[in-house]
Amino acid sequence: DAKTTQPNSMESNEEEPVHLPCNHSTISGTDYIHWYRQLPSQGPEYVIHGLTSNVNNRMASLAIAEDRKSSTLILHRATLRDAAVYYCILNEKGRQLTFGSGTQLTVLP
Amino acid sequence: EAGVAQSPRYKIIEKRQSVAFWCNPISGHATLYWYQQILGQGPKLLIQFQNNGVVDDSQLPKDRFSAERLKGVDSTLKIQPAKLEDSAVYLCASSLELIGGAFFGQGTRLTVV
């Protein structure tokens, strides 16, 4: 499985945008980019996924670099409830989701 | 829409005992996953089902762990006999499509003493 690299931790101020980076330089053409987050004492929660084009949903936006070797999860307005571990995962169609260690996001009031 | 249901939420057993976890995926979801999450780590896949067939069980310790998916819906994960290092949260997830997002249950926290 292709690997991803994320910062161990990030901080953001409440009500400000947050840009969570992910590097995946060995991505293959059939790998989808998935983002999940995990709040304390809960199971992971699906956030968003994409293949080549940028994606938007009610939770976040996913910006994918033109060469697909990196991507950024954008939370447009962070709230205290967005504090969680965010996982960037490459997923080939039908294959398992392989979680790394993720980015611990702290939101400051 | 009801989410992925798991039971029990918590379980404490002694080493060498057996334990079983149950998962009911979201209705209509063909793909079901069992993950193990040790404290401080990301989830690790144990087994992936597509309907009632196994897609990937390469990381399942088959000498002590077993899983089945009855009629392509509910699933059970069993550990027999349990070891101390099996203490973890066991997460079940399901997805509708092979490329879609997976939805996770709240997990079962297992403590082996």
Contact assessment for residue B23 and residue B34, using Cβ atoms and an 8 Å cutoff: yes
Chain A residues inside the 8 Å CB shell of B88: none
Query: What phi and psi values does residue B47 have, to the nearest 5 degrees?
Result: -155, 145
Q: pLDDT truncated to tens, each residue of chain B (113 aa)?
A: 679 999 999 999 999 999 999 999 999 999 999 999 999 899 999 999 998 899 899 999 999 999 999 888 999 999 999 999 999 999 999 998 766 789 999 999 999 99
Q: Please state, for a pLDDT cut of 90, what percent of chain A lies above it.
A: 77
- With b for 16 or more beta-carbon neighbours within 10 A and e for fewer, the A34-43 pattern comes to bbbbbeeeeb
User: pLDDT tens for residues A55-78?
Assistant: 999 999 999 999 999 999 999 999
Residues 6+ apart with CB under 8 A from B77: B20, B21, B23, B34, B46, B47, B65, B66, B67, B90, B92
Q: pLDDT by residue (tens digit) across A19-33?
A: 999 999 989 888 899
Nearest residue in A to B98, CA atom? A94
Of the residues B45, B46, B49, the best mutation for testing chain A's interface (the one with the most A CB atoms within 10 Å of its CB) is B45
Residue A59 in contact with partner chain B when CB distance is under 8 A: no
Both structure tokens of B29: 């979801």
**Strand B31-37 relative to strand B88-95, pairing:** antiparallel
Residues of A within 8 A of B43 (CB-CB) are 44, 99
Q: Which of B96, B113, B20 is nearest to A94 (CA)?
A: B96
For residue A96, the 8-state DSSP code is P
Decide if A46 contacts B29 (C-beta within 8 A): no
* Measured distance between the N- and C-terminal CA atoms of chain A, rounded to whole angstroms: 38
CB contact under 8 A, B33 and A34: no
CB atoms within 10 A of CB A79: 12
How distant is the Cα of A41 from the closest Cα of chain B, in angstroms? 8
Chain position carrying tokens 């997830």: B93
Q: Give how far B93 is from chain A: nearest CA, Å.
A: 9
- Among A62, A11, A56, smallest CA distance to A32 is for A62
